[in-house]
Structures are given as structure tokens and as C-alpha cells.
A and B are shown apart, each in its own frame.
Chain A
Amino acid sequence: MPKPDTLQGALDLLILKILFHRSPLHGYAIMTGIQEISDDALRVEEGSLYPALHRMEEAGWLRGRWIHKPNGRRARVYELSPAGKKQLEAEEARWNHVTAAVNRVLRMA
């Protein structure tokens, strides 16, 4: 099975989308969230997830902050920023546009 996250834009979209619905989430929850919703079809690897999170935070789409969990540990949770919401819309539109195009090609074939 090909790795879904090898498609670059897809990972960003997935992270944005899941944070749009359930925020705030920490990294592990994002990872398992994507896995659950896609019925195990899509797996995000840690090695891709965290650099992506930091890059998106750097770009201002996400806001990260530290929360205290009941067990006394700290966890870093992320939520969408207004810029992230805009980015989500744009990414979604682009994705739909691309998949529609791909579908058309498939139908024709």
C-alpha cells in the first residue's frame, strides 16, 4: 500500500481538517484521529507529523500552547488560527479541484 503522506499537500490538509473539527489536539491525538476517521486507511508517521506541525505553526496556520494534563505532565496542543481556517478553505478547494480533475480523467479512460 502506498503511503498516503507521500502526497505532500494531503498531510497539511488532513491536519488542518482534523483540527477544524476537534481542537485543541496534541500530536498523538492528531495522529490517531486521522487513523480512526480514515478507518486505518491513512497513517501519519511521527517523522512527518512533527516537522509538519512546526512548519505550519511557523507559517501561522496553527497555534500551539502548553496544557497541564491530570497526570502532571505537560502536553503541547494545537488549534487552528484564523489564517489556518483560510488556508483550510484554500487547501480544500484545491484538493476538490484536483480530485475532480483526476475523476474526470478516470471516467474518460
Chain B
Amino acid sequence: MSIWSRIANTLRRGDRLNSEIDEELQSHLQEAIESGRDPAEAHRALGNTLRFREQALNFRILPWLDSLKMDAIFGWRQVRKNKITSTAAVLSLALGIGACTAAFRLIDALLLRPLPISDPANLYQVLRRMPGDNGGTETLESWSYPGFAQMRQAVKGKAELIAVSFAYPSDISYDADAEMEKVNLQWVSGWTFSSFGLHAAVGRLFSESDDATPGGSPVAVISNDYWTRRFGRDPNVVGRTFRMGQIVYQIIGVIDGPFSGTETGTMTGVYVPTMMSRKVQQTGAFWMRTLLRFLPGANVELVRQQLAATSRAFEEERLRGVPREVLERHLNQQLLLESAASGASNLQSDYRSSLWMLAALTALVLLIACANVANLMTAQAESRRREMAVRVSLGAGRARLVRLVMLEGVWIALLAAAAGCAFASWAAPFVVSRINPVTNPARLWLPFDFRLFSFAILLTVLVALIFGSVPALRTSQIMPARVLKGGDDPKAHRRLMYLLICGQVAFCFLVLQATGLFVVTFQRLTNRPVGFSPERVLMMEAVSTQPQPPAIWEQELEHLRSVPGVESAALSDMYLLSGWATNYFISVNGAPPNMVLTQMLDISPGWLHVMRIPLLSGRDFRTEDVYPGAAIVNQAFAREYFNGQDAVGRRFEIPSEHNQRLGFEIVGLCGDAAYLDVHQPLPPQAYFPFLSLDAAGQPHENRGAVIMLRTSASDPMSMAAVLRREVRAGRAEFRISNLLAQTDINQAQTVRERLLAMLSIFFAGVALLLAGVGLYGVLNHSVVQRRREIGIRMAVGAQAAGVARLVTSRMVAAVLAGAATGLIVGLLGANRLQALLFQVQATDATMLMLPLAAIAGIAVLATIPAVLRAVHIDPLMMLRTE
């Protein structure tokens, strides 16, 4: 029995009929023998029962499957016969499919995939939206714990509120003297895991009683992923302890399943109860998200209103005494519930529009590739017109011809999909690894699963339909009589090709326009002065096992200055561009604060020199300067508060929480420096002495500080090992918890722009190449098709210029039409891009001219060979061969 009839048997009717046929024939045999026929002869007459079965069953399905098989084999032969065309088609499609699949994989992993918890659709994030500084809106996702607790109380019985902190890379150590380890850690409510329907793989997860009293239960739960990576799935991990800060935590259990936190893009390894954070009682510390799960039967809008009222009342109470207009603006906020089914993270909000933009670019590239392949295959089908015409005249149905050509397309699409998936499996992790700011590298769960598989299949089918249908339909319109006589309309089949060229050029324009904008954005950001010199500067976050007085820190600094290769060293409480900020409203001459925040940093003497921030007038801090008392401000500060006059010697105050006013005298004026974010204008800044005195006049003891070092090494990271050792040699209690080159910190600021610029340059190159190949292919094909006409024209005296014009005129028209379409669409879509740009307008004339110039260039390049071919046609040769 052939493979086809086996398929046929399972496809139709199935075993029931087979057994029935057997039974029927058995009964026939019985009758024959009963009526006196020779049993052996009767058996022979019946023959092999299987033969009947096949004949009865397969008489319809078999020819269809057989012909399908034949067409598939024929298609495969065509694919293999035209090796160059097929390879070009498969490669360009593979790139398009692969890029699209990779983009989908990223978007799915970061934005779409539901969290691995029970009922993820019923998980919301509570947000506040308020008018922003410059006309737009600002969304706040951070909450303080006391406010959260009041809101939770207010909606009890209708919805469950869950507090989860942002994921912090935290320093922990497992043994008393072991090195510090960085681990992503989240403070979460005790009822988080039970509400998420998660269970323990070993030990137990938190219960509500673990999260009842501040500082009450130093316990921790770890994720399955962290358990595997750090402990090799050792079940004895339960009961192990680690130290974080002054507190020793005990691990009580491991979460079962792939859940690794709600901050998609960061895999959280360790969870501790919110009550273990010292911020849990502070009304002014905004350090966590509020998640919400509705209980059955809850009224969504009612819950939202109750939350809004509670939040507003809390803020009014908290901000008592703040100037009226600041308060008004702050309270003019709207409370929103946003779905958090796929988690809630900064990576999502930072990369949402970038990723969709990337997806749009890849889709455009795929469309360009599709248009190319459609044209290639149409050209190929044209050269097979005679063959097709013969088929039609021999009685092949149109449907059969369409299938024949489509199957060729399916082969190409399948090959491209296989290559594309291989490309995507490499590309997606590669892109994630590029989202690697040293301060917070991204880690995404990128499974290759059913969702991705169905996407790739769907895309392949779609692609095969798009590019396969054009030549297939053209083929089905063949008029055999005309084709075989050689008088087929030569223009008709090229109209479609030029339309495709027009589309290709339009898509290409869009990709180039976006690329130009992203590259300029990245350049402007990189070339933007940051106000300090990051080269050869090392940032070390140092921690000590217990708080140390300033004198000990100064000793440590002195030790480091003696290390060979260290030019200068200074202390600060944070580092520039860390992503963290301390800021206050300040008051001059007792006037109420205006609404511009001043950014602050505590620094030791010499810090400005280490960073190469110029001191413009006045003096640097001296060792006797203390906080509160002395301050150094920058130019932006002087502009903001003293109309740009020299600020040295002037005074300002910080209204502090308990209605006290801390007074400062400005001792120095320095240059502006980027503080929080290089995208924003350089803000007013005030620097204070690192040495700080409390109300009783005692120096404040610090457990951690940032040591900034200027080195003489061109690659400061080469000194990392030495410095780690020297820090401990200086004083045994000190450890380095984080060590980064300042240049890396600066670069981390533009990771998104770098990624967009890098990927879009890649896609622009591919798009240009594909469009160029497409132009060349179509033009060349049309010259070959029209060689007889050209030959006649030349024979009757047409000049080379005339011939060149003849063969290129339609192409020029198509390219111009495509560019115009691209220009219009680009202008219409410009504002969608604007949010991703920096100091460049999407509608900027030069930014529109660049893609036009590139397209013109590639069009000329692609045209030259075909034109040369046309003008070199020898009329005599040509006419003789026909």
C-alpha cells in the first residue's frame, strides 16, 4: 500500500469504513461458498481485500493528493533549478521574517506575555497622572507605604492591594566574611504570593503574619531561577541566612514555577517582606508600586473612586504647609488602574514605543523583501509563459496553474521561515544583551514556545500569500493562443511590477527617514556636553560593615590616593547620572520657594577637581566646612535665583520637614553638570559638604559612600582588581559593592538611542540593498523582454540617449511616485516618532532630503547596468535571432 493511500485512509472516513468493507466482502464470500462455489475460486475472484479497500476509498482523494505531490515536487525542482534567484529570494525573506519574529519575540516577552500567575488578567497597577512641568502629563507609579496601607483599608472586601517595591540590585553576603553579591531584590507584601496563586517548591512562602510589624520578621523567599543559578537547586537552601545591611535574613522557601517578579525585564531573585524596609513608616518615601486584584463582584469604578479619594486625603495631610500653588498642582491628579497582566516595569515604559518602532521597521523591511520576491517570481513566471500556455492548451485548469506557482512560493517561504527562525533565535537575545546599561542590565525570559511558533507560521503563510499571489494570478490570466503566437501584450505584465517598485521605494523611504532621525538623535545626545570629564574616572560604591565617622572615610581616601595610578580621589553620597536624585525646593531671602527643584549632592573637598567641573568663582570646600552651613552652586542655580549675578557670598535656605529652615552660605560657583538624565537641560544644582553634623553637633556616621577616583590609566577598569584589594587593605571593614567606569555610566544614559540607531542603520542598509536589487531586477527583466523592440528602434536610427530614456522612463516615474508616497506618509507619521527623538524634528527638511538622496543614489546605481545592456543591443543580431 502506498504512503498516499495510507494518508488517504486516515484523512477520509477512517477505520470504520475499512472494517465495514472487510465485513461486506466477508459476507459476500460466505454467500458464494454457501451457494456452492469452490471456496478457493471464490477467494481468488475476490482477490486481495486491500485492493478493494484502496479502490473504494481512494478514487477521489488519491488523484488530488498525487497531483499535489507532483506539483510540490515540480515546485521544488523549479526552486532548485533557479538557484541564484531562489537563494536571493530565500535570504531576503529570511532576513525579513527573522527580524519580524525577533521583534515579536521581544515585544511578546516584554509587553504581551502574561505573568506566570493565576488569573493574570485580573492584575492592575494603581497609577496617578498629573500635569507635567512642560505642558505634557506625568505619570507617577510610586507610592509610599502609609498611603498604600490607607488605600488598602479603604477597599477591603472589594479588592486586594499588593505592595511591591521596585527591584533593587542589592548587596548581600551569605557568610560573615564573604564577598558582597549583587542580587535583584524586591520588598513585597506578605500576601503577594498567595494572591498570585503561587506555591513553594521547597519550604514555605510568606504569609500575612510575616508582614505585620515593622522589622518584625527577617525572612526571605527566593525565585526558582535564582535557586537554580546560585544554589544548584539544593533543597537545603531553606534555613540559610544572608546579611543585607545590618540585618540577617533567613531563607524560608523557594517559589515553584518560572515566576521571577513583577518587574518584567528584571529577574528578581530574592523577596523580603515590605515591613523589613525602613521606609515602610515614612510618608514621604515613594519606593514601591501598588498592584491591585479585584475580588469577585467588585464594582471597578467604585473601587477606583474610593482609592482616588483616599489617596487625595492622604496627600493633603502629608503636604500640609506646602505653598498653595504647588499643592494645587500636585493634588490635581487622576487615579488610574492600568492592566499589569504582563507585569509593570520601567523597562516596559522606556522601551514600549521603541520596540513598536522597531517592529514597524522590520515589517517594512519584510514588505520590501516580499515585493522583491514577488517581482523576481513574476519575472520568472514571464519567462515560463510558453510552458504555462502549453499546459493550458493541454487542458490544465487555471486553479491547477495557480497551485503550481503558489507551491513554488510555499517552498521559498518555508525555507525562508526556517532560516528566519534561526536568525531570530540569535537576534532576540542579542538585542536584549544590548539593553545593558551597567547600572541595570535587562534580563528577559525568552522562551521559544507555542506563541512564537504560531506567530512564525502565521507570518510565513501571510508572506507566501503576499508574494506568491502576484505571479500566480498573472499566470492564471495566460491566454495560450496569444502567448504561443508570440503576440502577448508586453506592457500588461510590467504594470504590476512597477507598482511593486513604487511600494518598495515608499517603504524604503520610511525606513531611511526613521534611521536618519535616530542616528542624529544619538549623535546629538552623545555630543551633548555633560559638564564634567568622565574619561579615566572610576566610580566605587564602598560599604562598611558598620557606620564609620568621617575621619575614617578620610583615612581610607588618603590610602587610596597613595595607590600608584590614582591621581586624585574624593567622596560623595551618590554619583552623577546614577538614575537617583535628591532634590528640594529652596528659598532665597525668606521668600516662598518657586517651583523649580534644585538637585543636590554631598561632596568632599577635591571632588569638583576629580570630576573636572570648573570652579568659576569663590572657593572649593575645605575640611572644616560642614552641612548645614556651606554650599557651592552652579551657573543654572545662579541664573534661576540671582539673575545670573555672582552668587558667591549670598545665602539660601531649605525648608525642611519639621518647619525648620536650614541656612546655607554660597562659598563657590561652579559649572553646570548633567545630574540625573542627559536628555534634560542641565538643572540648578547645589553641592554640600560630605561632612554633616546632626542637631547636637555630632558628625554623621556613614555606612556607605561613593569614592570617585581619577586615574592615570587609559582604561580605568584595568585597575579594578588592585583597587578592590587596596580598599580592604586600607581598612578591613570596607568592601566595594559596585565599581564602574564613569564613561560606562554616561553611555548607559543613551542605551535606548544607541540601540535604535544601531538597529535602524542595519535595517536601512538591508532596505536599500533590497530596493536596489529590486530596481535592478525589474529593469533588467524589462530590457530583456523588450530587446526586439529596442533592436528595431535602433535599426531605424534611435540614439543611445533615446533608448536609455525609453527603458528608464517608467522606472523613474515609479521611483518618484514611491518617494512621494513615502514622503507624505513620513510627514503624517512624524509626530509618532517625536517622543523618541532628541533635539531634532521629524519634519526637518534636511532629515527628509537625506533619504531622498540615498534612494536617488541607489536608483542610479541599479539603473546603470540595464541601461548599458539596452544601448549595447546589436540590432542585427537581435533581429536575426527572432
Which residues of A line the B interface, CB within 8 A?
A: 26-29, 32, 45-47, 50-51, 54-55, 58, 69, 73-76
The CA-CA distance from A50 to B20 in the complex, in Å, is 12
The CA-CA distance from A29 to B24 in the complex, in Å, is 12
Q: How far is the CB of A54 from chain B (nearest CB, A)?
A: 4
Q: Is the CB of A27 within 8 A of B28?
A: yes
Interface pick from B48-56, B90-98, B239-247 = B48-56
Most chain-B Cβ atoms within 10 A of its Cβ — which of A26, A46, A73, A75?
A46
Chain B residues, Cβ within 8 Å of A45:
45
Q: Is the CB of A47 within 8 A of B51?
A: yes
The CA-CA distance from A69 to B31 in the complex, in Å, is 11
A50-B24, A74-B23 are known contacts. Are A28 and B32 too (CB-CB below 8 A)? yes
Q: Is the CB of B55 within 8 A of A51?
A: yes
Q: Is the CB of B28 within 8 A of A46?
A: yes
Q: Is the CB of A73 within 8 A of B30?
A: yes
Q: Is the CB of B27 within 8 A of A46?
A: no
Most chain-B Cβ atoms within 10 A of its Cβ — which of A50, A55, A69, A76?
A50
Chain A residues, Cβ within 8 Å of B60:
58
Nearest A residue to B32 by beta-carbon distance?
A: A28
| B25 part of interface (Cβ distance < 8 Å) | yes
Q: Is the CB of B28 within 8 A of A28?
A: yes
The CA-CA distance from A58 to B12 in the complex, in Å, is 13
| B46 part of interface (Cβ distance < 8 Å) | yes
Q: Is the CB of B35 within 8 A of A47?
A: no
Nearest A residue to B45 by beta-carbon distance?
A: A46
| B580 part of interface (Cβ distance < 8 Å) | no
Chain B residues, Cβ within 8 Å of A73:
27, 30
Q: Is the CB of A55 within 8 A of B28?
A: no
- Please name 11 further chain A to chain B contacts, defined as beta carbons within 8 Å, in addition to the given A51-B59, A75-B27, sorted by A numbering: A26-B24, A32-B35, A46-B25, A46-B28, A46-B47, A50-B24, A50-B55, A51-B56, A54-B57, A75-B24, A76-B27
The CA-CA distance from A75 to B30 in the complex, in Å, is 10
Within 8 A of A (CB), among B230-288: none
Nearest A residue to B51 by beta-carbon distance?
A: A47
Q: Is the CB of A50 within 8 A of B56?
A: yes
Which residues of B line the A interface, CB within 8 A?
A: 20-21, 23-25, 27-28, 30-32, 35, 45-47, 51-52, 55-57, 59-60
Q: Main SS of chain B's interface residues?
A: helix
The CA-CA distance from A51 to B25 in the complex, in Å, is 12
Chain A residues, Cβ within 8 Å of B21:
50, 54
Chain B residues, Cβ within 8 Å of A74:
23, 27
Nearest A residue to B57 by beta-carbon distance?
A: A54
Q: Which 10 A-B pairs have the closest CB atoms?
A: A28-B31, A54-B56, A51-B55, A76-B24, A75-B27, A28-B28, A46-B46, A27-B28, A50-B52, A46-B45
The CA-CA distance from A55 to B25 in the complex, in Å, is 16
Nearest A residue to B25 by beta-carbon distance?
A: A50
The CA-CA distance from A47 to B31 in the complex, in Å, is 16
Nearest A residue to B23 by beta-carbon distance?
A: A74
Q: Is the CB of B24 within 8 A of A27?
A: yes
Chain A residues, Cβ within 8 Å of B30:
73
Q: 26 A-B residue contacts at CB 8 Å?
A: A27-B24, A27-B28, A28-B28, A28-B31, A32-B35, A45-B45, A46-B25, A46-B46, A46-B47, A46-B52, A47-B45, A47-B46, A47-B47, A47-B51, A50-B24, A50-B25, A50-B52, A51-B52, A51-B55, A54-B21, A54-B56, A55-B59, A58-B60, A75-B27, A75-B31, A76-B27
Q: How far is the CB of B18 from chain A (nearest CB, A)?
A: 12
The CA-CA distance from A32 to B45 in the complex, in Å, is 14
Chain A residues, Cβ within 8 Å of B46:
46-47
Chain A residues, Cβ within 8 Å of B45:
45-47
Nearest A residue to B42 by beta-carbon distance?
A: A46
Q: How far is the CB of A74 from chain B (nearest CB, A)?
A: 6
Chain B residues, Cβ within 8 Å of A32:
35
The CA-CA distance from A55 to B27 in the complex, in Å, is 19
The CA-CA distance from A74 to B21 in the complex, in Å, is 12
Chain B residues, Cβ within 8 Å of A29:
31
Q: How far is the CB of B168 from chain A (nearest CB, A)?
A: 72
Nearest B residue to A71 by beta-carbon distance?
A: B30
The CA-CA distance from A86 to B46 in the complex, in Å, is 31
The CA-CA distance from A55 to B59 in the complex, in Å, is 8
Nearest B residue to A27 by beta-carbon distance?
A: B28
Chain B residues, Cβ within 8 Å of A50:
21, 24-25, 28, 52, 55-56
Chain B residues, Cβ within 8 Å of A46:
25, 28, 45-47, 52
Nearest B residue to A53 by beta-carbon distance?
A: B56
Chain B residues, Cβ within 8 Å of A58:
60
A28-B31, A32-B35 are known contacts. Are A47 and B24 too (CB-CB below 8 A)? no
Nearest B residue to A45 by beta-carbon distance?
A: B45
Chain B residues, Cβ within 8 Å of A75:
24, 27, 31
The CA-CA distance from A69 to B23 in the complex, in Å, is 13
Chain A residues, Cβ within 8 Å of B31:
26, 28-29, 75
The CA-CA distance from A27 to B52 in the complex, in Å, is 13
Q: How far is the CB of A2 from chain B (nearest CB, A)?
A: 19
The CA-CA distance from A55 to B24 in the complex, in Å, is 15
Chain B residues, Cβ within 8 Å of A26:
24, 27-28, 31
Q: How far is the CB of B802 from chain A (nearest CB, A)?
A: 65
Nearest A residue to B46 by beta-carbon distance?
A: A46
Chain A residues, Cβ within 8 Å of B32:
28
